[in-house]
Amino acid sequence: MDNQTYHLTIDYTLSLAQMIEAGRYTSVHQGFTAEHFLLVGIGQVEVEAQLVHPNKKASTEEVLQHLDSLGLRPAILPELLAFGAQYPDVWKPRGGAVALGTTWVNPDGEREVPGLYEDDIGEDTIQSILLLLLYDGKWLEPAFFLAVPK
């Protein structure tokens, strides 16, 4: 677990597109639309976030139980986007971060959650990606989950 706390300012005066743009991602999954992800919040909100690593391959349910045992809840999309924009030097070396607090059901009926990921595509080129990841199943051991106090 990353014991450091990260102070986030979530600006709900911004649209989803503006929040995404602030992160300067090289690639954004086409599913990130205002139609799929409704932002609920007013003004600017301050939160303290942590990156949690379960130190094992774990199911989503196991991760949620672990967060609960720590007095945390999974981050939602606006919190992940604020973290991505405000702390790129934190999430990139760790390979990314996942926000289990926001889900979207894709056209195939599968639940997906937002995540940040950095990919080395060769020739000294690294992409920062905002993507959707399958909610169900096991998370690989290097997965980090953004969480905030309940």
Element (H, E) at 50: strand 44-52
| pTM over the 0.75 mark | yes
pLDDT (0 to 100) of residue 4? 87
Q: For residue 1, name the pLDDT band (cuts at 50, 70, 90).
A: very low
The DSSP 8-state label assigned to residue 115 in this structure reads E
pLDDT, one tens digit per residue, over 126-138 is 678 999 999 988 8
Chain centroid to Cα 13, Å, comes to 20
6-149 CATH: 3.10.100
pLDDT, one tens digit per residue, over 37-76 is 999 999 999 999 999 998 888 999 999 999 999 999 999 9
Rounded to whole angstroms, the Cα distance separating 8 from 3 reads 16
Chain centroid to Cα 95, Å, comes to 12
pLDDT, one tens digit per residue, over 27-44 is 999 999 999 999 999 999
pLDDT, one tens digit per residue, over 84-94 is 999 988 887 77
Q: For tokens 């020739």, what's the residue?
A: 123
Tell me what the pLDDT averaged over the chain comes to: 91
The residue ranges of every structural domain in the chain are 6-149
> Where would I find the H helices in 9-145?
16-22, 60-69, 77-86, 88-91
CA dihedral 78, 82, 88, 92 (to 10 degrees): -20
